[in-house]
Amino acid sequence: MSTIYSDNIRNRLLYYILIVCIILINVSCVKIYPRPVVKYTDSGDKIKLTQLVKGTDACWFTDSKQFAYVDDGIWITDVENKEEKTQLSATGESPRISPDGNRLVYTDSGIWILDIDTLKKTRLTDKGFMPCWSLDGKHIIYTDTDSAVWSVEIKSKKAKSLLTKAINPACSKINESILVERLNTNNLLFDTWLFDLKKEPKLLLVNAEAPAWSADGEYIMYSAGGIWAADKNGADRKRLTVSGDKPVLSPDGNKLLFSFRQHIWSMDFPYKPE
């Protein structure tokens, strides 16, 4: 009886020691990595990192100064004056600015478009998420609930399927090319594929999530254990940071926004393809 009692005490002590060790590890990680860590620069110079606002899922306006983001609704602010914030919608996720900079598409139990000046909202679909604008600004490309990429015409609200077994489309701003994520069933990680309406999908980047084009179509930003950049063909890959996700490059190509620990961060864009 005493042996059983002693074993129970020992097991309970070991359990408590394990819990304390886990807590200490988590605390130490917070102290060691309170901010993103820059991994790569072309020149070797130290890159300035700036924590901007609490939130996630940022997208640039066309002026490369303002950006929209999500934090209990959709907000806009300025990289140079982050204290001035304006709420565009009390709900919603995945905001994306239109090519003309006047409208915003977002997700809120379906796909919606919001006029930035009047704040008028128009529902396009009853389901779907992760939207982006087509090159001509007349269609929204989005992920349907069946894990397929769809397109809906804004004027008629008619939708059609474009690609199966794909999510999170990112539309090019210079042509009809679209980046998407597809699940790799061998390792259960997502890869980035390239497709347009005239060609078969092409595997571009392995283990690469949240892909995004640069405005000139020369670079691709993506997440894979930090922020990475590659050229438009998926080559010359460089790791920019060791943490963070959902990178977006400013239209002028100078600043990169990304999410890290529920905050939006800004850094100079150091990548130049070789």
Query: Which residues partner with 213 through β-bridges?
Result: 220
For tokens 């409208």, the residue is: 103
**CA-CA distances (angstroms) from residue 88 to 75, 112, 132, 257, 267?**
5, 13, 18, 20, 25
Collect the ranges in the chain with pLDDT lower than 50.
1, 4-5, 23-32
Tokens found for residue 59: 């997208």
Q: Which residues of 111-129 are buried (b: 16+ CB within 10 A; e: fewer)?
A: bbbbebeeeeeeebbeebb
pTM over 0.85: no
User: For position 255, what pLDDT does the model report?
Assistant: 93
pLDDT of residue 192: 97
What pLDDT, on a 0 to 100 scale, did the predictor assign at position 187? Answer: 87
Q: What is the pLDDT of residue 145?
A: 87
CATH number (2.120.10.30, 1.10.1740.10, 2.40.420.20, 1.25.40.10) of 39-268 reads 2.120.10.30
Residues in CB range of 30: below 8 A, 6 or more apart: none
In angstroms, rounded to a whole number, what is the distance separating the alpha carbons of residues 63 and 135?
18
52-100 tens-digit pLDDT = 999 999 999 999 999 999 999 999 999 988 888 999 999 999 999 999 9
Residue 146 pLDDT:
86
